[in-house]
A and B are shown apart, each in its own frame.
Chain A
Amino acid sequence: MAEEISYDRSLLGVEHHIGTFPITADMILAFAAATGEVHPLYSDAAYANASEHGALLAPPTFSNIFVEGFRRPDIQLAFGEMTLFANQAIEPLAPIKAGDTLEARTKLQEVYAKTGRSGTMVFMVWETSFMNQHGTTVLRVQDSFVRRNRGKQ
């Protein structure tokens, strides 16, 4: 049975601007080094510059560098002691290139509880879209975080 969850429901569906992010070649190369990326369009500046794109491309999951750093609104969730990343859906819509500047907007899509063998968990689902300096939406991301109580150690 669904459990009543206490949180700031006024945030549901309300879009928030959460940052402006210049994307540099160094950031893309660091992302490649951190994730073991070897695709030359994402990891070899000379190759990418000579390609039809004319610049190093950000891999489709590049926006994940922001997952931990976003200043999302505090939903005042009165439940649980620890938060973990539960699910993610990424929808690349257009290339992101070194030199682009992205604007990120996010909204709280859903908050719901599930009870399983390890007890009750509360899921918070955020949908974030990234627009480049030309006004093109380049990426949509849905991040779901689970809040639960700590298990016995």
Chain B
Amino acid sequence: MNTALYYEDIAIGDEIGPLERTVTLEQVQTFLAIRSTRPGPTRFTDEAQARSEGLPGPIVPGAVNTAMVAQLLTGWSPTIRLKKLEVSFRQVVRHNTLLEIKGVVTAKQVVDQEPQVECDVFMENDEGAVHVMGHAIVVLPMRSRES
């Protein structure tokens, strides 16, 4: 886990990450098995099913992609609380794609006594194509309030 960050430590333009992830078929199967809602072939696990739905092949569920983007923020510092995360899925993610997840601080302000930091977040492949992009608000403690 990274070091404890405070609101005062953050500046607009600060970079977050990157975090690298590669999602395998086994991981997707593990994810889907948590609820076991679709035991049969799905667009997420089966080549033929994915192609029948107009996809290039099995894809990583968007729900997993959101989870990995959130990890960029919750893993940034143990003092951070995720307040809101909004993402758009721009391109499907195939299994075993090397993904880089990163962010940049775009604003900081205290809202109703709450120290908030805003960030843009991205998930790209190793060729720089953006698969997921979004915006987040995180809350950090203020060092000045702890002294």
Contact = CB atoms under 8 A, between A and B. Distances in A.
A64 B32 CA distance: 10
Q: Is the interface of A mostly helix, strand, loop or mixed?
A: mixed
B30 interface: yes
Nearest to A68: B37
B63 A37 contact: no
Nearest to B62: A85
A144 B74 CA distance: 23
Interface stretch (B10-18, B80-88, B108-116, B123-131): B80-88
B66 A61 contact: yes
Interface residues of B, number: 37
Interface in A126-153: 150-151, 153
B40 to A, nearest CB: 12
B86 A89 contact: yes
A59 B71 CA distance: 9
Contact of A64 (B33, B38, B66, B89): B66
Interface in B54-113: 54, 61-64, 66-68, 70-71, 74-75, 81-89, 92
Interface of A: 27, 30-31, 33-40, 42, 59-62, 64-69, 81-82, 84-92, 150-151, 153
Contact of B85 (A33, A36, A69, A90): A90
Interface string B1-43: 1000000000000000000010100011011111101100010
Nearest to A33: B30
Interface of B: 1, 21, 23, 27-28, 30-35, 37-38, 42, 53-54, 61-64, 66-68, 70-71, 74-75, 81-89, 92
Contacts of A68: 32, 35, 37-38, 42, 61, 63
Contact of A35 (B31, B35, B81): B31
Contact of A59 (B28, B70, B92): B70
Given A39-B1, A39-B74, A66-B35, A34 B86 contact: no
